[in-house]
Chain A
Amino acid sequence: MRSWNELETGSFFDANARERAVGMVDKGSFTELLGPLDRFMSPHLPVLGTAVEFDDGTVTGVGLIGKHPVFVISMEGKFIGGAIGEVNGAKMVGSIRLALKTAEELKAAHPDDYEERRPMVVISFETGGVRLHEANAGLLAHAEVMDAFQDCRKKLPVVSVVGSKVGCFGGMGFVAAATDVIIMNEQGRIGLTGPEVIEQEMGKEEFDASNKALVYRTTGAKHKYIIGDCNYLVEDKIGAFHAALADVAAKSMEEIEGMRRIGSLKLVQEQQGLVKLVGDMQPKDSMDLWKYYGNEDPAELPEMTTEEFLKVVKRRVRP
């Protein structure tokens, strides 16, 4: 594997799950938990004649950012599209529960400087959701993750990191939405229904899944940033994600709660405002919404570099 210094300046998009996990935390601080040497694989894939991975396609472990223990979950899109089954689903849930337990222990052991040691959960999503080969177990694991998120509320930050090839779709699309903070690079995509399924449901005239620009405009990071679903839009460097995570770690839980998009009646009402706008406007394209929020030339936004985009973009103003 590349050295940590090389990872920091390297592309996040091109990095595999383990490189992302190692590079998002401080140098030399990452310890993998239930790594490939444990050979804890899916027992369900061989039954269907499918190859296994020794880490079941998800890297889990713990690192540090400053004094903050960071529990990292990093999905590998090259293995069955990063999909979630029984074992890697359990690795996700197990990591979140470890973070909660660690928070309790740190509070007891370091009451005076707990804030600067408060743990964090970071999930690098690269997944289409449920792994069909073990669909029922994967589905149940999604619910366990949502349940564990609610336990973390106002105690420790749960952060989504999205910027890999597969994007973050299916059930994992709402899992990401349910976290406190979302960090993306320009290539990142989050959605519930994948483009092919929308095309199948609505017809090619309404939604052409092979139109990559349209797909990015609908679920890509720039759109998510404009409507307020993405909190940090960063350069495609692992180091840029590391820096954004350090920024989150330094915030108070109150500030972090303020970065959420769902999770309270007030936030639901705010989202209902957006739904009303979309229902009234019946947009044919995300650009209709970008224009509504004050971007006079919406077609130029996808062409811009992240830096240029961040300088000129107008975002949804929260009520």
Chain B
Amino acid sequence: MDEMDNTMIGRGRDAIEMIVDEGTFVENKVGDADFDPEYGPGSVVGTAKLEGTTCTVIANDAYAFNERFPVVFGGVIGLEEGYKMATAVYRSMEADADKPLAEKRPLILIVDTPGNGPGKMEEIAGMNKSTGGYQLALAEARKAGHPVIAMVIGRAISGAFLCHGLQADHILALSKDFGTMIHVMPITSISRITKMDIERLEELSKVNPVFAPGVDFFYNLGGVQEIVNKVEDMRPVIAKHVKEVAALKAAGEYEKLGPWGRGLLGDERGGRVNRLKAIAKMNEEFAAVADKYLNA
């Protein structure tokens, strides 16, 4: 397959149309709240229906440029974008605050972002709060019962993936045939910063899921729940995961979902087998001394 013909990189808005029920997406509206169309143009928020169910959609716009914060282009999540995305999450919770668990609207995150805003003004205002604020909002919505599904269609890079994606219940990704990129850094940068030999790194990157870029490696580590092989499958697969997640929430099985659930999956798939052992050993060591701290 020629990936340049098939890639969804830069096509966040197209992806929304491919995923939701035809003609249902209303941008800049979540519940009763309206969003200023000029604000945080690098992110797209709104409401749509997926197989008849009202959901919130949050995506990146790779063609928007933020005039106030010029580091924001190509899908970068800047200060305004992060807070806009967080607001869409809080407004979703607000809209369904009085509804029973089964009626908490799903949040669909369409992920194609190369990074968080890397500028001086961003650091002066505190870009860490914008990206962190969005993550806390997503974690709260997930724990409040909203199914949160992330669909990686293009770039899911490092901190921007943590911001927009890694707090979801389930993460799905288009296969590598679409040029989908999930990583912290390309091998060339890893080599430059760690001063490790690039040829050795490239050799190792073919087999080592723990540091090398790639959708399949993230699958192995539990970071991706399911790989989607055709663009037309995005819609039914997302709908399927919404149902699965909702069923687990109805059963109170929150620990099987989200970042902790991905840890369990990484253990199951053999990609991350040390973390649970480390945690178990810590628990055992604390149990041996707990009395001193519980009855101080």
Contacts and interface: CB of A to CB of B under 8 A. Distances in A.
Contact of B128 (A64, A90, A143, A191): A191
Classify chain B's interface size.
35 or more
B236 interface: no
Given A105-B294, A136-B218, A268 B137 contact: yes
Contacts, number: 279
A274 interface: yes
For the complex, would chain B's binding face be called helix, strand, loop or mixed by DSSP majority? helix
Nearest to A277: B125
A190 to B, nearest CB: 7
B136 A178 contact: yes
Interface in B256-296: 258-260, 262-263, 266, 272, 274-279, 281-283, 285-286, 289-290, 292-296
A137 interface: yes
For the complex, would chain A's binding face be called helix, strand, loop or mixed by DSSP majority? helix
Nearest to A132: B190
Contact of B83 (A139, A178, A275, A286): A275
A177 B129 contact: yes
Interface in B135-152: 135-137, 139-140, 143
B209 interface: yes
A1 interface: no
A296 interface: no
B15 interface: no
Given A93-B279, A136-B183, A267-B133, A192 B196 contact: no
B81 to A, nearest CB: 10
A258 interface: no
A310 interface: no
Contacts of A91: 278, 282
Interface stretch (A10-18, A196-204, A239-247, A299-307): A196-204
B95 interface: no
A139 B166 contact: yes
Given A87-B275, A198-B123, A201-B71, A140 B282 contact: no
A98 B211 contact: no
The 5 lowest CB-CB distance pairs between A and B, nearest first, are A174-B132, A90-B275, A135-B184, A262-B133, A150-B139
Interface of A: 31, 33-34, 38, 40, 42-44, 47-50, 60, 62, 64, 66-67, 69, 86-87, 89-91, 93-95, 97-98, 102, 105-106, 109, 117, 129-130, 132-144, 146-151, 153, 170-171, 173-178, 190-193, 197-198, 201-202, 206-207, 218-219, 223, 227, 229, 261-265, 267-269, 271-272, 274-275, 278-279, 282-283, 286, 289
